[in-house]
Chains A and B, each alone.
Chain A
Amino acid sequence: MGRLFENGNLALFRDGFLQTVEISALSALFALLLGTLLAAFRVSPVPVLRVFGTVWVNLFRNTPLTVLFFAVTFGLPRLGVHFASTTLAVIALSAYTASFVCEVLRAGINTVPVGQAEAARSLGMTFGQTLTQVVLPQAGRTVLGPMSSVFIALPRNSAIAGAFSVSELYHFQQTMTDLGYGIFLIFFWVALAYLFLSACVALFFRFLETRLAVAR
């Protein structure tokens, strides 16, 4: 088992793992922000914003992530926007994941009893107030389940970045295979790293669920 980690390969593995964590965490943050914004757009009273949200979601949910990576990697430079490949990966992953976050939130907003929004309105709250102070906090609890599967999927999806010049875990797997190490041995360690990551995300969401649980 130890043979894989000779000649500084352990450092490569560690760097790959940290890179996966980094792009996943950053993408999670941006996807959450962007997804919430898109969900607000989709239920807003402004038709243009609703259309924008709908187009975004349909476009990004139905495009393979790999195609999105192609678009970002080769498209943005032609727009005069130059970024490092890790930044490009974060952009692709956030744009993609945000469309899923948006749909989960929208479904959650629909589960909040109509009376809640009506009560808020009768108190004279605006759309923004109704959404941020009454509906979203309640939707937040019900969407934790589906949201956790979106965010467990994120580190998994981030593996594609390895094919686009980001030195994360998939890149480690590729490099080690090229160096001639046994594929099962490599797979064992890489799999372990991903299992660890998804367990962490799952635990985090379980923690949130217990913290946010309210008797209804």
Chain B
Amino acid sequence: MSGSSVLYDVPGPRARARNLILGVLAGAGLLGLLWYVYRSLDDANQFSAAMWDPFLYKNVQERILTGLLDTLRAFATAAVLSLVFGALLAAGRLSDHKPVRAVCTAVVQFFRAMPLLIMIFALYQSLFTTAPFWGLVIGLTLYNGSVQAEIIRSGINAVPRGQGEAGYALGLRKSQVMGTVLVPQAVRSMLPAIIGQLVVTLKDTSLGLIITFPELLYVGKWIASNSSTPDGYPYIPVTIVIGSIYIILCLLLTALAKWIEGRSRRGANRRTSAAA
């Protein structure tokens, strides 16, 4: 259903007038709020040339670019590793052996409950003091891998039972049923959720800031705290610039997910929502 249209009647003249008034009022309120925000920031000289000046320097632009590349590098590595780790855990959770199932369930539940920040900090302090990149990537892998495992598992469980049973009836072994019957069918329905979780992975690379990995947000903080202007430090301009870059990256990934979803709409479409 198209979401909205079923919930209310096609508006008649009075409802249209009411909706229009509501819309105008809400619009005016929102514009007023935006105007207030703009004015306050302007009064605090947040739009002064000095505040935005750092971004004009070649050195700063290069640093943002290398920060962006470092973010993407951490994201790509963590994405691949978390999918591998997730697939292994999912296989373990679907295993016929009870101990394997129990261990994998415990691992998944533990890492899903643990704040990424706590884990990354602990990894960094204990093993990766000199290699924050790996502290970040392994932290991301453990957490996102556990979430991916759940997505993969529920995707496989969502394939109609008859499919697997037919495979067994043909005399296929479990690995064959998995590899040739269940996984190929499940992948299609899982992809949107998997990519949704990859968006989370991408956003969480920003935690590298805490362990001095020079990713995008770390660079942003460096710019903000090392550029004093007559009106304080350019935290707001930096947040706007760096935030926009993150939003664009995430929207690109989401657009990819939508595109894949559109291509695979024919298949069963049980989705597991990505955790925040």
Query: In the complex the two chains form, is B243's CB within 8 Å of A63's CB?
Result: yes
Query: In the complex the two chains form, is A47's CB within 8 Å of B275's CB?
Result: no
Query: In the complex the two chains form, is A46's CB within 8 Å of B243's CB?
Result: no
CB A64 to nearest CB in B, in angstroms, measures 4
Inter-chain contact total with CB atoms closer than 8 Å = 178
Task: Report if A91 contacts B (CB, 8 A).
Answer: no
Query: In the complex the two chains form, is A110's CB within 8 Å of B203's CB?
Result: no
User: Interface readout for B228-245 with A: 1 if CB under 8 Å, 0 if not?
Assistant: 000001011011001100
A170's contact among B115, B221, B235, by CB below 8 Å, is which? B115
Stretch at the interface among A3-11, A82-90, A127-135: A127-135
CB-CB nearest in chain B for A74: B235
Main secondary structure on chain B at its contact with chain A? helix
CB A98 to nearest CB in B, in angstroms, measures 11
CB A96 to nearest CB in B, in angstroms, measures 7
Task: Report if A58 contacts B (CB, 8 A).
Answer: yes
Task: Report if B1 contacts A (CB, 8 A).
Answer: yes
Query: In the complex the two chains form, is B235's CB within 8 Å of A67's CB?
Result: no
Q: Which residues of A contact B207 (CB under 8 A)?
A: 66, 160
Stretch at the interface among B6-14, B87-95, B161-169, B172-180: B6-14
Task: Report if A210 contacts B (CB, 8 A).
Answer: no
Query: In the complex the two chains form, is B113's CB within 8 Å of A194's CB?
Result: yes
Query: In the complex the two chains form, is B114's CB within 8 Å of A46's CB?
Result: no
Q: Which residues of A contact B273 (CB under 8 A)?
A: 103-104, 107, 146, 149-150
Query: In the complex the two chains form, is A67's CB within 8 Å of B217's CB?
Result: yes
Main secondary structure on chain A at its contact with chain B? helix
User: Interface readout for A182-201 with B: 1 if CB under 8 Å, 0 if not?
Assistant: 01101100110011011100
Q: Which residues of A contact B239 (CB under 8 A)?
A: 67, 70-71, 74-75
Query: In the complex the two chains form, is A43's CB within 8 Å of B115's CB?
Result: no
Q: Which residues of A contact B121 (CB under 8 A)?
A: 170, 173-174, 177
Task: Report if A79 contacts B (CB, 8 A).
Answer: yes
Q: Which residues of B contact A169 (CB under 8 A)?
A: 118
Measured CA separation A71–B206 after assembly (Å):
14
Query: In the complex the two chains form, is B19's CB within 8 Å of A75's CB?
Result: no
Task: Report if B222 contacts A (CB, 8 A).
Answer: no
Query: In the complex the two chains form, is B1's CB within 8 Å of A114's CB?
Result: yes
Given A64-B217, A67-B246, A183-B125, A109-B3 contact (CB < 8 Å): yes
Task: Report if B247 contacts A (CB, 8 A).
Answer: yes
Task: Report if A211 contacts B (CB, 8 A).
Answer: no
CB B85 to nearest CB in A, in angstroms, measures 18
Task: Report if A34 contacts B (CB, 8 A).
Answer: no
Query: In the complex the two chains form, is B276's CB within 8 Å of A97's CB?
Result: yes
Q: Which of A152, A159, A163, A190 has the most CB of B within 10 A?
A: A159
Task: Report if A206 contacts B (CB, 8 A).
Answer: no
Q: Which residues of B contact A160 (CB under 8 A)?
A: 117, 207
Task: Report if A204 contacts B (CB, 8 A).
Answer: no
CB-CB nearest in chain A for B250: A62
Task: Report if A14 contacts B (CB, 8 A).
Answer: no
Stretch at the interface among B21-29, B59-67, B183-191: B21-29
Query: In the complex the two chains form, is B122's CB within 8 Å of A187's CB?
Result: yes
Task: Report if A144 contacts B (CB, 8 A).
Answer: no
CB-CB nearest in chain A for B252: A62
Q: Which residues of A contact B102 (CB under 8 A)?
A: none
Q: Which of B1, B115, B116 has the most CB of A within 10 A?
A: B115
Task: Report if A50 contacts B (CB, 8 A).
Answer: yes
Task: Report if A154 contacts B (CB, 8 A).
Answer: yes
Query: In the complex the two chains form, is A173's CB within 8 Å of B3's CB?
Result: no
Measured CA separation A199–B238 after assembly (Å):
38
CB B47 to nearest CB in A, in angstroms, measures 11
Measured CA separation A182–B232 after assembly (Å):
38
Measured CA separation A135–B30 after assembly (Å):
28
> What are some 6 contacts across the A-B interface (CB < 8 A)?
A43-B7, A70-B220, A78-B40, A118-B6, A152-B112, A153-B276
Name 19 extra pairs, CB < 8 A, besides A66-B209, A67-B243: A45-B11, A48-B26, A52-B30, A58-B247, A58-B251, A63-B246, A64-B203, A67-B206, A71-B239, A79-B44, A106-B3, A127-B8, A154-B276, A156-B114, A157-B115, A158-B115, A163-B117, A177-B121, A198-B112
Interface pairs A-B: 5 shortest CB-CB = A74-B235, A62-B250, A159-B115, A198-B113, A64-B206
